[in-house]
Amino acid sequence: MKETEILKHFAIWNEIEQPQPLRVGFINDSFVVPAKRIGETSYCLQRINHNIFKDVEGLMRNIEIVTSHIREKLLIAREENIERKVLHLIPTKEGKLFYKSPDGNYWRLYVLVEPATSQEKVTPKAAELTGEAFGRFQCQLADLPFNALCESIPNFHNMEFRLRQLDEAIAEAANRPVSDVRRKRLEESRDIVEAINSRRERMCLAEILFREGKLRKHINHCDTKVNNVLFDEKGRPICIVDLDTVMPGFVFSDFGDFMRTAANTGAEDDPNLDNIHVDLEIFEAYTRGYLKEATFLTPLEKELLPYGCRLLSYMQTVRFFTDWLNGDTYYKIAYPEHNLVRTKAQLRLVEEQEKVEEQMKSIIARL
């Protein structure tokens, strides 16, 4: 169904232009819908990937709970420009949070936050402000009981679960004929399997501590990549986007996911592994901003922040590698080897983070 047809189902009252595809993210499809007249509201239309998000209803309810909770906090604090500081869902004409088209697709509409840009790299100053923004985001949600939201993807950041998925992918690939592409992919990456296996137990620490009742869950964003923050023209963070995965989780994993993407001198999918190091200046700046706002952290949660960095890079290694072995069914890829290149780049980041663990700890202690 054409996007223009889809838009007719939403409660938009101003005149709009043709939707334009927006090439961001690996999961959903997004379109910018500009207003016809300058100064009026423009929109962002998204087709939700329901192969990945099976419970669209629950996911949209999560987003509605989180955005209205934050909006209320901003109103109480008498903030200005609230429309730019928290995402605003436009309901359908029937008052629903999404529209299901006859062809079985799910659509939602947000007010477009503008002018704003997203970045793949940040300066230390921007990192500090972003640390504050995420610290505030978690703080604003700290009074919501963690089970107020559902897991829009069950076990999303559960390391034990991600390793089980990998084991299944390995078993499946190993059972295929020698000539099969998935079998070949496995045979050619024994060293990666090795590297993952040697870290398994350590990396499942959070689940163990949770079962022992030593660690709690919060409402987390669960995809705090640097490109999920919108910045204004002066390079200040204004709004946190991509809320599909807001759900219960461990606070340090949100910290770690930002560091995985922003405190890396290379790219997430850098083909040149020599580019990949931990940017400790960014690490320090973000941590300074974050600790200023995240006043609710327990001593254990604070202690686990460097672990959170390694955890998220390791988890992403496992997830990219699983997708590689499965024949690239989950992430959008730009070229055939993309998931393998991503895997190697993330694994190198884990190794680099291990090298500077002590330095990270002393930065945190100093701050």
Stretch 33-52: interaction string toward ligand GN1, x if CB under 6 A? -------------------x
- Closest residue to Mg ion, judged by C-beta, is 242
Q: 103: which 2 tokens?
A: 């062809």
Q: How many residues bind Mg ion (CB under 5 A)?
A: 3
Calpha distance 48→53 (Å, rounded)? 8
Among the listed ranges 39-47, 203-211, 242-250, 333-341, the one in contact with ligand GN1 (CB under 6 A) is 242-250
CB-based burial label for 12 (10 Å; 0-12, 13-18, 19+): middle
Q: How far is the CB of 5 from Mg ion (least distance, A)?
A: 26
Q: Is the dihedral of CA 33, 24, 9, 70 positive or negative?
A: negative
Q: Which does 269 bind (CB under 5 to 8 A by kind): Mg ion, ligand GN1, none?
A: none
Dist. CA 43–CA 238, nearest whole Å: 17
The nearest distance, CB 282 to ligand GN1, in angstroms, is 17
Q: Cis before residue 91, ω within 30 degrees of 0? A: no
Between 172 and 211, how does the x/- string for binding to Mg ion read (CB under 5 A)? Answer: ----------------------------------------
Q: Which of 7, 9, 25, 319 binds Mg ion (CB under 5 A)?
A: 25
CB of 359 to Mg ion, least distance (A): 29
Strand 89-90, strand 20-22: pairing = unpaired
Q: Residues 6 or more apart from 81 whose CB is under 8 A from it?
A: none
Residue 57: φ, ψ to 5°: -55, -50
Asked if residue 254 binds ligand GN1 (CB under 6 A), the reply is no
**Residues 27, 196, 238, 262: which binds ligand GN1 (CB under 6 A)?**
27
Stretch that binds ligand GN1, among 8-16, 20-28, 165-173, 206-214 (CB under 6 A): 20-28
User: Does an H or E element contain 106, and which?
Assistant: strand 106-111
**Closest distance to ligand GN1 from the beta carbon of 156 (Å):** 7
Alpha helices, DSSP H, located in 218-356: 251-262, 280-293, 299-303, 305-325, 338-355
Residue with Cβ nearer Mg ion (146 or 331): 331
| Burial annotation 81-97 (CB, 10 A radius, 16+ → b, else e) | eeebbbbbbbbbeeeeb
Work out whether 284 is an interface residue with ligand GN1 (CB under 6 A): no
Which residue, 203 or 230, is less far from Mg ion as judged by CB? 230
Minimum CB separation from Mg ion for residue 347, in Å?
Answer: 22
Judged by the rule CB under 6 A, the positions of this chain that interact with ligand GN1 are 25-27, 52, 223, 225, 242, 244-245, 268, 316
